[in-house]
Amino acid sequence: MKKIGTLKTPTINQNGYHKNILTKERIGTLFIYPTDYTPDDCLSCDGYSLLIIDYEDLYKVIGKQFNQENDPENTFRIPDYNITGRFLQPNGNVGVQIDAGLPNITGAVPNFWCGGPTSANGAFALAGSGSTYGGGSSSGKGFNFDASRSSAIYGKSTTVQPNSQTVHICIKYK
């Protein structure tokens, strides 16, 4: 096995990847601080719009990944992790924003009451109509339960927000 010092290709890191020539001096690296501190060679990840000509090395790494629709052609944005408070999640599809949400909760309760319910609200809805139980008439066959009826946040995700700790995130630009 060759030692790293005898390789003819650029230095390989511990994961077996060649050093990326676009990330010289770790430009584009995120730094996380437990306080509101931003080093001199970093910018706070607050979604600033920057002139490409002023931050060419950083632009070469992140490009216009974080730009908004109406941003001028000669500008690019750094990510906004501090103001929006979005959680950072590793993923093969880098840069995609995932909306908050909770898994939906659904269910049904059969109607066994004489006379039956005539209305429902929140996550509950009447299921069917016109049945008779025990000699009385019912306006519904039961209840359906759908949490998304009470709040649109339900059913938008397959995960739940865990306990967390806030931090300050910076990006290295020089």
pLDDT at position 80, please? Answer: 93
Which residue blocks in the chain are alpha helix, DSSP H? Answer: 56-62
Q: How confident is residue 87, by pLDDT bands cut at 50, 70 and 90?
A: confident
Q: If you ran DSSP here, which 8-state letter would residue 26 be given? A: G
Mean pLDDT value across the chain? 76
- For residue range 135-146, what is the model confidence (pLDDT) as tens digits? 444 444 667 778
Which is more confident, 26 or 89? Answer: 26
- For residue range 151-162, what is the model confidence (pLDDT) as tens digits? 888 887 777 766
Task: Give the DSSP per-residue string, 46-81.
Answer: B--EEEGGGSHHHHHHHTTTT--TT--TTEEE--B-
Residue 70 has pLDDT above 80, yes or no: yes
